Structure 1
């Protein structure tokens, strides 16, 4: 498979620069760099989207932002979205343009969950926030104007991991029924982040393709510390005993992504467990292609395909 030309140019420019990679920076600088780069490379906002910031109450007050496309009706489909960044990086502002365009193109309300980042609270805080956010949305769907029969979970990278955790909780606790689960280049097996196992895609694309091994090591250090819980199914949901009766799931990976193979492995585990699942590999793309839609026509096309996947899932 051939790497997208415009993304290849971005990666080549990054290699040629003398600046440090995100994984080599202090935590504060890494967070600032992630947000700055994500916004600079992301998709441009082309339509007016209404937004509303709110707080999900509980033991940990979770910030969230609602993105609503105009004219979407009284009872609207909604997507609870969890962002990537290794459980350590990323926030509402980094993903603001992406969330606006995802709402515009999918026709669904997007609820962006600004879960707590590690290491300030390490694992399992982000998982707890994801489950708490889903429970609150389920209880307040009517107040928010959502059609409770058309609520989806979605997330990219680490956010895909959180979406899986929330879906498992919804299945086991019935909080609430989920119409669809959309996973974008998800973290399903955290063991490679701790150097405990590997996949061919990690060996092929673990250096120089946006998500590299040094960054994965940084994420593991901050998220798990010395707990060593790489085999905990909340950390590595691929290892969960029961993946049956999850909502219809779409797993989308990228051809030049170190996480590609574990995304495929999760899809295969879903199918083996009897869950309805679809798999799509975006050839020529790298990890985090949703965040490159402003600099690559191929990534823009992939972004639009993701939005259409959401639209179809919530019809």
Structure 2
């Protein structure tokens, strides 16, 4: 089976003058310093015994000083530009990979933009396989952004980090966004992209026995849906699911939404804004059923036999409870789960590893855990064909 469209090189997205100024401002605040470097801020933020990472606190202070509006305070097109801009500022300079190529994959109703990252340039003798080895694993990555925002460029740095550090192929896919394309366009596209990935894995140069699906925030929601749908329908299931601070349950309000829903980047009002665009207002005509497992995969009744999961949450994240509750439910269903909380970080830290050492170390740990879980033999890992 041949690719419908040959890949073409994709250079890293570039920052304009304003973005370079903001990145320099982060440096002046000390936000790129190590853990022992003092950042001149007010008293440390401590909640539930957790101390917010100082460079992250500096970044949030800079956003306030620059007057960045929240998502819900902007028209959708402008909010999309803001998210992309902030991600490029906070992720630092582009991470080199062997190749980044733009291509098209099949969505539910037509082709979707995608970007394939190929590992290379780093050799670590402590690891079982090398980035330049034949047929590395492949991660299908689905970006976050509340089902309304986000694209290939906003998550370019995160995908480069996972590709280079874990030594795996990463295929990042853009799905249709609300409000132009409300639910179920996003899960339809994610499921179609997974089927396309399975069909083209060998042609992409991947090990067909090591195929993972993953995403951050809303992308974590879609990755969980892909894993559940593949198991339910009897198709080729992922060998692993990476859920990075995922959004999993829209049926109720979790406690951490009250504790961390203001002042830690992901605003409560912005989450409601995204939900209204994506699934509508509960009780109103045309609204999606929030209990549908393709809206809230975290409330699915039967989780037995799902792909092993790496679930990463952040301490200062309104979505923290959702991810950790899902990890417990998967364990109770007999699914292998590795759950890791980054107690001093915020939602979206996967896009802020240019802001201080802690965010970068956290993402290095995520990549290492991802790679380690993919190294386990499929029969032991429990994934593979359903």
TM beyond 0.5 = yes
Instruction: State which of 84, 107, 112 in structure 2 corresponds to 1:62.
Output: 112
1:194 is matched with none
Provide, for residues 169-215 of structure 1, a one-character-per-residue CA deviation record: whole Å limited to 9, x for no partner: 22123432322111110001123xxxxx3222111100010101111
Q: Distance in 1 between matches of 2:146 and 2:203?
A: 32
Matches within 5 A, 1:87-126: 87-126=147-186
Map 1:49-198 → 2, pairs under 5 A = 49-57=98-106, 59-70=109-120, 71-191=131-251, 197-198=252-253
User: What is the correspondence of 1:16-27 to structure 2 with a 5 Å cutoff?
Assistant: 16-27=65-76
Deviations 1:48-81 (A, max 9, x none): 4301211113522111110001353332210010
2:207 counterpart SS class: strand
How many angstroms apart in 1 are the aligned matches of 2:166 and 2:93?
16
**Does the 8 Å CA contact 2:147/2:218 hold for their aligned counterparts?**
yes
Q: Matched residues in 2 for 1:134 and 1:109: separation? A: 14
What aligned pairs does 1:221-260 form with structure 2 within 5 A after superposition? 221-226=276-281, 227-260=287-320
Q: CA separation in 2, counterparts of 1:237 and 1:14?
A: 33
Distance 2:174 2:288 in 1: 25
Match of 2:3 in 1: none
Give the Cα separation in 1 of the matches to 2:158 and 2:339: 22
Q: What residue in structure 1 maps to residue 384 of structure 2?
A: none
For structure 1, the residue ranges without an aligned partner over 5 or more in a row are 192-196
Q: Is the 8 A contact 1:72 1:108 kept in 2?
A: no
| SS of alignment partner, residue 283 of structure 1 | strand
Structure-2 separation of matches of 1:282 and 1:204: 16
Residue in structure 2 matched with residue 273 of structure 1 by the alignment? 333
Among 220, 239, 247, which residue is 2:275 paired with? 220
Q: CA deviation at 1:16?
A: 3.9
- Following TM superposition, the consecutive aligned residue runs of length 4 or more in structure 1 with deviations greater than 6 angstroms are none
Q: 1:172 to 1:228 in 2, by over 3 A?
A: closer
TM-score where L is the length of structure 1: 0.94
Moved more, 41-50 or 135-144: 41-50
SS at match of 2:81: helix
Deviation at 1:252, TM superposition (A): 0.7
Shift of 1:314: 1.7
CA–CA distance in structure 2, aligned partners of residues 127 and 200 of structure 1: 26
- Aligned counterparts, 1:34-53, within 5 A: 34-53=83-102
8 Å CA contact 1:43–1:98 kept in 2: the answer is no
Q: CA deviation at 1:313?
A: 1.6
- Distance in 2 between residues matched to 1:124 and 1:146, nearest whole Å: 29
Distance 1:239 1:134 in 2: 22
- 1:25-65: CA deviation from partner (whole Å, max 9, x where unpaired): 00010000000001110143343430121111352211111
Deviation at 1:2, TM superposition (A): 0.2
CA-CA distance at 1:125 after TM superposition = 0.4
CA contact (8 A) 2:310 2:370 kept: no
Please give the alpha-carbon distance, in whole angstroms, between the structure 2 residues aligned to 1:174 and 1:102: 29
Where do 1:196-211 residues align within 5 Å?
197-211=252-266
| Paired residues, number | 310
Could you say what secondary structure the match of 2:316 adopts? coil
Q: Which of 4, 9, 14 is the aligned partner of 2:63?
A: 14
Following superposition, the deviation at residue 244 of structure 1 comes to: 1.1
- SS of the residue aligned with 2:355? coil
Does the residue aligned with 1:285 lie in a helix, a strand or coil?
strand
Q: Distance in 1 between matches of 2:136 and 2:288?
A: 42
